[in-house]
């Protein structure tokens, strides 16, 4: 289902709620390894480090954060895979 | 408990499976001797490997035979050891099928099948890289290679996630740095630590300890590098993030996956990790089936200490159920990973579900504790040192009366 905030339907939802660092970024990397260019990965996390780690990774890798959405008890981060490999 | 014999099957002869079997045999001794309970330990390997020992085989030249013992010698006399691999685990029918086709029906099962290094996930990895997570022989190959190495660029670290024993890649970097210093060739070696994570150690508090020590030793740090492929001819590797890294000697931890039997049985996720309750250790949807250690998908480090503490919780829950007890034991996520940081010093990675990892600095006394634990490892598998664990760890589980 498309996110009401962004109108973007994720290709993969990665639910890392309840895990602490490095759980969310580990789960994101596992999803990224299996993703294709154009896919949208939605990461759900309760760990506050998930946001800064994901931002740092997208900046370095050239991938794109579509939105960071604050839900009641967790955050949803939508990432569009625009770069993978050479 | 009335009527027919209660069968408990442990699948996997690593730390978690062996300890669970021994704890159950001790706690249910009277029932076993009265013929009311049977404990079966299914182990595909006749040998038990002390896996933390891989590091010292690879980087300090320890004799690989010193980290291996016969599984049979570690198992309580009241455990029925079944020395063949499990082929299938059917949680609905409560049957474990062995490679020979023989079946074991169970009333309770603990799946402790561990994790498996998966170098095949990365093209070129097996041809190009050495790793110290596979076997004593593979670790010995690293020792042989570094002895012949006279200078150049050594890249050491993590190729992909997840992997077991989170501190081990950092420990390897510290130990190989020590080794080249002792040989007097450190100035001829460029040493790079490579990781997919944002920092040298994934959990920030311990990374604050590691990073300055790496810098002091001249160990370069490359972050956010998820290895996509390796070209052994060009001696280059390429990341999913689009970067290239060259090397002369490559020592990497491959990504891991769950055991084949988990995948074949359809009881895990796509990568073979079993969904389990992070407190009770019950496999999701089952009250008589447990998963412990590396085999699960629960959010905690894949280490021997974790498997040990979860084995206590799972076996306590089975004993309680068999005796119609009202206690439900819940593991609290306690971790305590020894972390060698070179120059004869070590720290520990300490945390729990409710307590983020602490910043702990290396010391000589912690190094001595790490060595003592390695020496006592074989005895810890019998469960006879759990009073000592209890003193050191404090509470690792809570009890709920149902």
Q: What is the CATH number of the domain that holds B229?
A: 3.50.50.60
Q: Give backbone dihedrals phi and psi of A44, rounded to 5 degrees, phi first.
A: -105, 125
Asked if A86 is an interface residue toward chain B (Cβ–Cβ < 8 A), one would say yes
Predicted pLDDT of residue A4: 72
How confident is the model at residue B4, as a pLDDT?
Answer: 87
Fill in the DSSP letter of residue B251: E
Which one of A22, A33, A85 has the shortest CB-CB distance to B160?
A33
Q: Strands, E, within chain A: which ranges?
A: 12-15, 40-45, 64-70, 75-80
Q: How far apart are CA B90 and CA B354, in angstroms?
A: 34
pLDDT at residue B307 tops 70: yes
B396 and B264 in one domain? yes
Tell which of B225, B256, B287 closes a domain: B256
Contact of A21 with chain B, judged by CB distance below 8 Å, is answered with: yes
**Residue A2 belongs to a domain:** no
pTM: 0.94
pLDDT at B388 over 90: no
How many structural domains is chain A composed of? 1
Predicted confidence (pLDDT) per residue in A3-59, tens digit? 777 788 999 999 999 887 788 999 999 999 999 999 999 999 998 889 999 999 999
Contact (CB<8Å) B242/A25: no
Residue B383 resides in a domain: yes
B192 and B99 together in one domain? no
Strand pairing of B95-98 and B86-90? antiparallel
Is A5 among the domain residues?
Answer: no
Last residue of a domain, one of B240, B256, B272: B256
| Contact assessment for residue B11 and residue B43, using Cβ atoms and an 8 Å cutoff | no
**One domain for residues B97 and B146:** no
User: From the CB of residue B352, how many other CB atoms can be counted at a distance below 10 Å?
Assistant: 19
Element (H, E) at B388: helix B386-393
Residues B24 and B104 in one domain: yes
Mean pLDDT over B194-216 rounds to: 97
Statement: residue A1 has pLDDT above 90: no
Taken as a whole, chain B contains a residue count of 402
Number of other residues whose CB lies within 10 A of the CB of residue B348:
21
CA distance A21 to B29: 41
Q: What share of chain B has pLDDT > 90, as a percent?
A: 92
- Same domain assignment for residues B91 and B56: yes
pLDDT at B400 over 60: yes
Of B204, B242, B351, the CB nearest to A86: B242
Do B128 and B103 belong to one domain? no
A6 inside domain: no
Cβ distance of B238 and A86 shorter than 8 Å: yes
- The pLDDT-based confidence of B385 (bands split at 50, 70, 90) is confident
Residue A86 lies in a domain: no
User: Across residues B143-161, what is the average pLDDT?
Assistant: 97
| A85 domain residue, yes or no | no
Q: Which of B121, B196, B356 sits opposite A20 (nearest CB)?
A: B356
Chain A and chain B share a number of CB contacts under 8 A equal to: 66
* Shortest Cα–Cα distance, A29 to chain B (Å): 7
List the CATH number of the domain containing A27: 3.30.110.40
Do B235 and B264 reside in the same domain of the chain? no
Q: Are residues B165 and B205 in the same domain?
A: yes
Chain B hits for A62, CB-CB cut-off 8 Å, are: 241-242
How distant, in Å, are the alpha carbons of A10, A24, A46, A75 from that of A72? 20, 18, 10, 8
- Given B256, B282, B303, the domain boundary residue is B256
Six-digit token string for A64: 């794109």
Listed residue (B255, B312, B253) closest to B112, CA to CA? B312
Say if A59 is an interface residue toward chain B (CB within 8 Å).
no
B326 inside domain = yes
Cα dist. B345→B142, B152, B175, B180, B277 in Å? 22, 27, 11, 17, 36
Burial B222-259 (b: 16+ CB within 10 A, else e): bbbbbbbbbeeeebbbbbbbebebebebbbbbbbbbbb
B278 and A CB contact within 8 Å: yes
Same domain (yes/no): B344, B222? no
Binning pLDDT at 50, 70 and 90, where does residue B3 land?
low
Q: Has residue B174 got a pLDDT over 80?
A: yes
Task: Specify whether B237 is located in the same domain as B209.
Answer: yes
Chain A positions touching B299 (Cβ under 8 A) are: 16, 18-20, 23
Are B237 and B280 within one domain? Answer: no
For B351-355, what is the mean pLDDT?
89
* Residue B299 sits at the chain A interface (C-beta within 8 Å): yes
Residue B17 distance to chain A (closest CA, Å) = 25
What is the CA angle B272-B162-B87, rounded to 5? 25
DSSP B274: B
Name the domain count of chain B: 2
CA distance B169 to B345: 16
By residue range, what is the domain housing residue B217? Answer: 118-256
Contact B162/A at CB under 8 A: yes
Max Cα separation, chain B?
72
Residue of B135, B172, B143 whose CA lies nearest to B157: B172
> Same domain for B293 and B221?
no
Assigned domain for B1 exists: no
Residues B329-351: pLDDT tens digits? 999 999 999 999 999 999 999 99
- Specify if A3 maps to a domain: no
Q: What's the domain range around A38?
A: 12-80
d(C-alpha B282, C-alpha B53), whole Å: 30
**A60 contacts B202? CB cut-off 8 A:** no
């Amino acid at each position: 289902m498309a996110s009401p905030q962004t109108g973007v339907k994720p290709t993969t939802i990665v639910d890392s709620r309840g895990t602490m660092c490095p759980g969310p970024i580990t789960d994101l990397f596992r999803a990224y390894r299996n993703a294709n260019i154009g896919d949208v990965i939605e990461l759900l996390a309760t760990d506050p480090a998930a946001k800064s780690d994901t931002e740092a990774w997208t900046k370095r890798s050239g991938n794109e954060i579509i939105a960071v959405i604050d839900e009641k008890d967790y955050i949803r981060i939508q990432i569009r895979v625009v770069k993978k490999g050479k | 408990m009335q009527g027919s014999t209660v069968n408990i099957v442990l699948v996997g002869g690593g730390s978690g499976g062996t300890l669970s079997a021994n704890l159950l045999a001790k706690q249910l001794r009277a029932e076993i001797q009265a013929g009311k309970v049977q404990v079966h330990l299914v182990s595909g390997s006749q040998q038990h490997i002390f896996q933390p020992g891989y590091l010292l085989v690879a980087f300090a030249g320890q004799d690989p035979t010193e980290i291996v013992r016969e599984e049979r010698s570690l198992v309580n006399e009241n455990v029925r050891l079944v020395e063949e691999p499990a082929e299938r685990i059917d949680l609905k029918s409560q049957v474990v099928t062995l490679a020979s086709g023989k079946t074991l029906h169970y009333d309770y099962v603990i799946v402790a099948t561990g994790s498996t290094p998966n170098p095949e996930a990365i093209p070129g990895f097996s041809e190009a890289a050495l790793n110290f997570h596979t076997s004593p022989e593979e670790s010995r190959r690293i020792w042989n290679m570094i002895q012949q190495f006279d200078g150049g660029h050594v890249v050491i670290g993590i190729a992909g996630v997840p992997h077991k024993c989170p501190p081990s890649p950092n420990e390897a970097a510290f130990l190989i740095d020590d080794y080249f210093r002792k040989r007097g060739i450190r100035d001829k070696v460029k040493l790079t630590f490579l990781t997919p994570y944002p920092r040298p150690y994934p959990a920030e508090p311990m990374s604050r300890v590691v990073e300055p020590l790496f810098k002091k030793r001249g160990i370069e740090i490359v972050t956010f590098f998820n290895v996509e492929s390796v070209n052994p001819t060009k001696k280059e590797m390429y990341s999913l993030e689009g970067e290239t890294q060259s090397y002369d000697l490559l020592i990497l931890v491959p990504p891991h996956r769950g055991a084949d039997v988990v995948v074949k049985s359809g009881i895990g996720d796509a990568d073979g990790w079993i969904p389990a309750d992070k407190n009770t250790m019950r496999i999701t949807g089952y009250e008589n089936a447990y998963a412990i250690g590396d085999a699960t998908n629960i959010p905690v480090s894949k280490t021997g200490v974790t498997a040990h503490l979860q084995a206590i919780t799972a076996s306590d829950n089975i004993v309680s159920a068999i005796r119609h007890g009202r206690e439900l034991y819940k593991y609290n996520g306690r971790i305590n990973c020894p972390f060698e940081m070179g120059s004869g010093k070590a720290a520990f990675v300490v945390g729990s579900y409710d307590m983020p990892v602490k910043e702990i600095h290396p010391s000589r006394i912690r190094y001595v504790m790490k060595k003592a634990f390695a020496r006592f490892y074989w005895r810890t598998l019998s469960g006879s040192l759990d009073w000592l664990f209890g003193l050191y760890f404090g509470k690792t589980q809570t009890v709920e009366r149902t």
